[in-house]
Amino acid sequence: AQSVSQHNHHVILSEAASLELGCNYSYGGTVNLFWYVQYPGQHLQLLLKYFSGDPLVKGIKGFEAEFIKSKFSFNLRKPSVQWSDTAEYFCAVNHRDDKIIFGKGTRLHILP
Amino acid sequence: SQTIHQWPATLVQPVGSPLSLECTVEGTSNPNLYWYRQAAGRGLQLLFYSVGIGQISSEVPQNLSASRPQDRQFILSSKKLLLSDSGFYLCAWSVASADYGYTFGSGTRLTVV
């Protein structure tokens, strides 16, 4: 079955630290890839997405993600995190069909 | 612009009671509609999706059902709630396919007591 794996369930960092959240998916065909974020008390919202072209995708708030097809990975990065980045982050994949499969999420806690 | 409405925001229901959660989308036609359940540490589990009126795909067999009586209305139901139905339910919509991602509603926190 298609699946998305997020390696870290809970990450704690200090402000200004660099961030990398891992994501791997199981499907070998053509995919669209997403990172969603849920800030405390807010809706799930799209952070960034990859369809094709440049495998390095830049999103909102200084986030970026790199699609590495050979590794089936789409890791999320940010060079310097802020306290306001405290949230839950979900990696997701769409296999060019009608639905998106989500990972279990990573809770990121930034210490001020 | 497109908006998605989901209600109620919170709901406390006794075991064995029925359930009806409603989701409507404005500003678009023929959207794909989705129901997810979000549980701590378990991510988002796709429950149902619909690509058109009366068309429902069920992803996980359980105590719930879904219906789409109108183009922009998606309803999640149960005849008899179980304790295990407690959770956070999210409605989402996308354009004809999910290629471009979803827009999520604000969610319903359901507690079955």
SS3 at position A85: helix
- Which of A9, A100, A103 shows the shortest C-beta gap to B102? A100
- Which of A32, A43, A90 shows the shortest C-beta gap to B44? A90
Q: Determine contact, residues A99/B44, Cβ cutoff 8 Å.
A: no
Q: Determine contact, residues A108/A13, Cβ cutoff 8 Å.
A: yes
Q: Do A43 and B34 touch (CB under 8 A)?
A: no
* Residue A13 at interface with chain B, using a CB cutoff of 8 Å: no
What CA–CA distance (Å, rounded) separates B15 from B37?
18
* Residue A101 at interface with chain B, using a CB cutoff of 8 Å: yes
In tens digits, what is the pLDDT along chain A, a chain of 112 residues? 678 999 889 999 999 999 999 999 987 788 899 999 999 988 899 999 998 899 999 999 999 999 999 999 999 999 999 999 999 999 999 887 778 899 999 999 999 8
Residue A18, pLDDT score: 97
Reported as a single tens digit per residue, the pLDDT across B87-99 is 999 999 998 776 7
* Residue B36 at interface with chain A, using a CB cutoff of 8 Å: yes
Burial class, B108, CB count within 10 angstroms (exposed 0-12 / middle 13-18 / buried 19+): buried
Identify the residue with better confidence: B54 or B43.
B54
Residue of B nearest to A47 (CA): B101
